[in-house]
Structure 1
Amino acid sequence: MGKLFLLFAIMPIIEIAVLIEVGEQIGGWNTVGLVILSAIVGAYLVRQQGMMTALQARQKMQLGQLPGQEMVEGLMLVVAGVLLVTPGFVTDIFGLALTLPMIRPTIAKAVLKHMQVHVVNQAQNGGFSAHYHYQRRDQHQNNDVFEGDYEVKSEDKDDDRPRLDR
């Protein structure tokens, strides 16, 4: 509850105070121009980084890997886009930090680690009724994964077992 209060009550007050201070230093119209410019540049950065993250996710999926980090980074880019389009300089700083390719992967790794610990804790505390195991195709020891189609044909009326034909 305290975090939501901070987000919705204190943050706008800080933003307004910073906008007023910047407006007094460089003028009102210049401040408005900077806010609009930051939104345009932010939208461009989020789009560029989003396409790069989507490409990385596609490459991982083609290798048979889960793109967990890329999914978290994509979510972070959505948050960055909202922060950069929101009028204000403080939110722009946080949004810009989330778009930088030097900072975003580090934060994404920390978020993934936190999520894994949370899921493990939930499972240990009986929070899940079933445990699922994911194993990539190239991790099978005997390469016993086969893909194919089959059709069930029953020609004998005496034999109730379905027959598989290739």
Structure 2
Amino acid sequence: MAGRLLLLFIIIPIIELFLLIKIGGLIGLFPTIALVILTAIIGSQLVRRQGIEVMSRIRAAQARGEAPALAMIDGAALLLAGFFLLTPGFLSDALGFVLLVPKLRQRVARALISRVVVMAPNMGPAGFSTRGGFADNDDTIEGEYQRKPENARRDADRITRDDR
């Protein structure tokens, strides 16, 4: 895995430089720089707008009492898109703009969610304990309580102070 990442960190910048040099040779230095800056500006505005929409979907899901997993992954993809769009280069810009397509982003998010199994400590999937049966928290204290009026609390405090 580390070897693949190292290779990725070496190959991607070389491809970016190659594309910048080739496109710069075709359209010139200043138009190339202007194009890189323009894609960063347009991309950041698109990420901002879509990010606001994703945040409203997250809030709406939380208000309904649902887990906003799909919207959270959507937001993470937007964060990655923003990173790619602010990184100078045409390959990273293309990846960033691809991540700005909502239907594609949601398809990737659904695929990721379908592969994830949420597990808590000492828990297996779907709330079953790894020790067998349903999970039982050993720290649970059972009891009953009743709410008393404020003056009853003061009387109880006074009685316990007098007993000492």
TM-score with structure 2 setting the length: 0.73
AA paired with 1:9? Answer: I
Equivalent positions of 1:7-156 (< 5 A) are 7-116=8-117, 119=118, 128-130=121-123, 133=127, 153=153, 155=155
Aligned residues: 134
**Larger helix percent:** 2
How far has the Cα of 1:43 moved from its partner?
A: 0.3
SS in 2 for 1:103: helix
Distance 1:22 1:64 in 2: 50
AA paired with 1:4? Answer: L
Distance 1:46 1:3 in 2: 29
1:136 match: none
How far has the Cα of 1:7 moved from its partner?
A: 2.7
Distance 2:111 2:93 in 1: 22
- Runs (4+) of structure 1 moved beyond 3 Å? 130-133, 150-158
How far has the Cα of 1:100 moved from its partner?
A: 1.3
Q: Deviations over 1:139-159 (max 9, x none)?
A: xxxxxxxxxxx569374559x
Gaps of at least 5 residues in structure 1 are 134-149, 159-166
Distance 1:129 1:59 in 2: 32
Distance 1:3 1:154 in 2: 69
Distance 1:111 1:103 in 2: 12
Gaps of at least 5 residues in structure 2 are 128-146
How far has the Cα of 1:92 moved from its partner?
A: 0.6
AA paired with 2:43? Answer: G
Distance 2:7 2:82 in 1: 20
How far has the Cα of 1:19 moved from its partner?
A: 0.6
1:142 match: none
Q: Deviations over 1:40-83 (max 9, x none)?
A: 01100110110010111111111110100111111111111110
Superposed CA RMSD = 2.3
Aligned residues with identical type, % of pairs: 37
SS in 2 for 1:102: helix
AA paired with 2:122? Answer: S
